[in-house]
Amino acid sequence: MAARNDLDPDNDHWHWLASDLRVWRIERNMTQAGVGKLLGVTKTQVSNWESARENLPMKHAEALDGIWRTCGHFTRLRRLAERAHDPGWWNQYTPIEVRASRICYWALAIIPGLLQTANYARALLEDGQIIEDVEATVGARIARQEVLSRDKPPELRALINESALDQPVGGPEVMGEQLAHLITLSHRRNIILRVVPRSVGAHIGLDGSFAILTGTKDSAAYMDANTGGRLTQDPTRLDDLHRRFDLIGSEALSASASRAHIERIMEGMK
């Protein structure tokens, strides 16, 4: 979570939006409570927007443009932040993941983080050569998986492309352990894993991986990309990703057939 002094508006569009919200509020001699009253939210909510702990929703950006006569400034900046790669997405994503009641993954090339073994995660990070403290990152990733074992865990629905399953990340032994782990997880009542076989050919999921987090208070989606990605809470975008998830799922094997398929891939690696 970013405090005001930690904002980096030159390099992060969401921080730019947060910073401008504070600047324009102060120029109008308004308190956070005053802005909250204008928008029908709490002072804490406005504080969260100004510190970039949460993103200013589009409807409130539009409301501010109308009330403050800012000629669409906040609306345009909100759209720009939504479309750009977001270097600070992780700090926003993880709190939503913890609160989510349902998590949907489309995994195009690698196993999703909540389903990874430590050895698989380590192999990905070491081969990527972009993480300074690999072990700390692996530990944090495995710690995130506790959400799946808590009381009232989220429903997890994962669609996994076959190429993510037969790519021998870390070698056959590491990958075999990872596939066995997926089979074990697939027997949990709150987890459904389904495989999209290579034989399907071209389909809508080939555009890239994404995750959809659904909660009682907030929902979000993260869309992966080569040099980064972006987090969105826009309802229209979320609806589109849910539709994509359903279309990809229509090409997937059943849960039981997927388990058998993973077993065959695992046997082939021995």
Tell me the domain boundaries of the chain.
4-83, 89-268
Helix (H) or strand (E) holding 25: helix 13-27
Strands laid side by side in the 228-232 sheet: 191-196, 155-161, 102-107, 210-214, 220-225, 228-232
- pLDDT surpasses 80 at 128: no
pTM confidence score: 0.71
30 residue type, one letter: M
pLDDT > 90: percent of the chain: 69
- Say if residues 113 and 141 touch (Cβ distance below 8 Å): yes
Confidence of residue 223 (pLDDT cuts 50, 70, 90): confident
pLDDT tens-digit readout, 157-180:
999 999 999 999 999 999 999 999
Fold for 89-268, please state it.
Endonuclease; Chain A (3.30.870)
3-class secondary-structure state, position 174: helix
The predicted pLDDT at position 143 comes to 94
- pLDDT surpasses 90 at 82: no
- Say if residues 248 and 203 touch (Cβ distance below 8 Å): yes
- Say if residues 55 and 233 touch (Cβ distance below 8 Å): yes
- pLDDT surpasses 70 at 20: yes
Distance CA 196, CA 64 (A): 45
The predicted pLDDT at position 236 comes to 86
Pick the CATH number of 4-83 from 2.60.40.420, 1.10.260.40, 1.10.3720.10, 3.50.50.60: 1.10.260.40
